[in-house]
């Protein structure tokens, strides 16, 4: 019998949105919560497809089909959970974006959903956002947290410019960096002393719980 991840990967690559959603529903019916689904099903499945592309088992077109299908599943899950996308004006604000030329946004979308589940007002700016536009949005909206996603090694050099610029904002937001590389590479030389490194969604969830309790926690890898 195929594992749930294997089934999910197959449906993603086939572009079968409804069958992929059925796998998520099965997980829900088995008592899995959002963290379980995000980390153990969706994140694992997307890493499998990424590995398949790197090994030339699938084409870049196949990977794009998997990504767009997964994006649909996450959007449908958001409505299924009835997550409120716009919290009250007094709720903390999270601004989420991928570095310039960084196209992998699925992980960051799950981060946005997790923030929403914790009652945050989020703005998900998606993939490939140049620094000048990220800075402009942050100045206008004044987020409490800015989340940056990087998953390709040759994009890391650009990270230092983002964190340095965002650290100069007043009021200064908490800057978080996430992506599959965080648990594999030492990012410290590309970040400021204030930057938080988030290796996975479980660590982020712990930070969110502590934030609402007014407790500062260290979640760095």
Express each pLDDT in 54-99 by its tens digit. Answer: 999 999 999 999 999 999 999 999 999 886 555 677 899 999 999 9
Q: pLDDT tens digits for 146-193? A: 999 998 888 888 999 999 999 999 999 999 999 888 888 888 888 988
Q: How far is CA 94 from CA 9, 84, 97, in A?
A: 30, 14, 10
Domain boundary among 81, 114, 134: 81
Residues 67 and 108 in one domain: no
Tell me if 88 is assigned to some domain: no
Residue 188's contacts (CB-CB under 8 Å, 6 or more residues apart) are none
Say whether both 109 and 204 belong to one domain: yes
For residue 116, being part of any structural domain is answered with yes
Q: Tell me the whole-structure pTM to 2 decimals.
A: 0.91
Percent of the chain residues topping a pLDDT of 70: 94
Instruction: For residue 87, give the 3-state DSSP assignment.
Output: coil
How many domains, the chain?
2
Whether residues 125 and 54 fall in one domain: no
Q: Are residues 19 and 68 in the same domain?
A: yes
Mean pLDDT of 25-41: 97
Q: Is residue 218 part of a domain?
A: no
- Spatial contact of 112 and 142, defined as CB atoms under 8 Å apart: no
How large is the greatest C-alpha to C-alpha distance in the chain, in angstroms?
A: 55
Out of 43, 58, 81, a domain closes at 81
Residues 28, 70, single domain; the answer is yes
Q: Is 193 within the bounds of a domain?
A: yes
Domain residue limits at 19: 4-81
Please tell me the predicted confidence (pLDDT) of residue 221. 40
- Look up the CATH number of the domain holding residue 67: 1.10.1240.10
Same domain, 169 and 105: yes
């Amino acid at each position: 019998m195929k594992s749930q991840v294997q089934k999910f990967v197959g449906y993603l690559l086939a572009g079968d949105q409804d069958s992929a959603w059925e796998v998520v529903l099965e997980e829900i019916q088995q008592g899995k919560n959002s963290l379980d689904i995000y980390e153990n099903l969706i994140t694992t499945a997307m890493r499998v497809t990424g590995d398949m592309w790197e090994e030339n088992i699938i084409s870049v077109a196949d990977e794009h089909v998997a990504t767009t299908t997964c994006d649909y599943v996450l959007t449908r899950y958001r409505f299924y959970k009835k997550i409120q996308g716009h919290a009250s004006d007094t709720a903390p604000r999270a601004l989420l974006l991928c570095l310039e030329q960084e196209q992998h946004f699925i992980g960051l979308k799950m981060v946005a959903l997790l923030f929403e589940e914790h009652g945050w007002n989020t703005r998900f700016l998606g993939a490939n956002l140049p620094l000048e536009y990220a800075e402009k949005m942050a100045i206008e909206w004044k987020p409490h947290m800015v989340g940056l996603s990087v998953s390709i090694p040759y994009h890391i050099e650009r990270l230092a410019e983002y964190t340095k610029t965002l650290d100069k904002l007043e009021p200064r937001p908490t800057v978080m960096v996430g992506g599959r590389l965080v648990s594999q590479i030492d990012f410290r030389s590309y970040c400021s002393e204030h930057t938080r490194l988030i290796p996975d969604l479980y660590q982020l969830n712990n930070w969110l719980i502590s934030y609402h309790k007014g407790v500062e926690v260290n979640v760095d890898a």
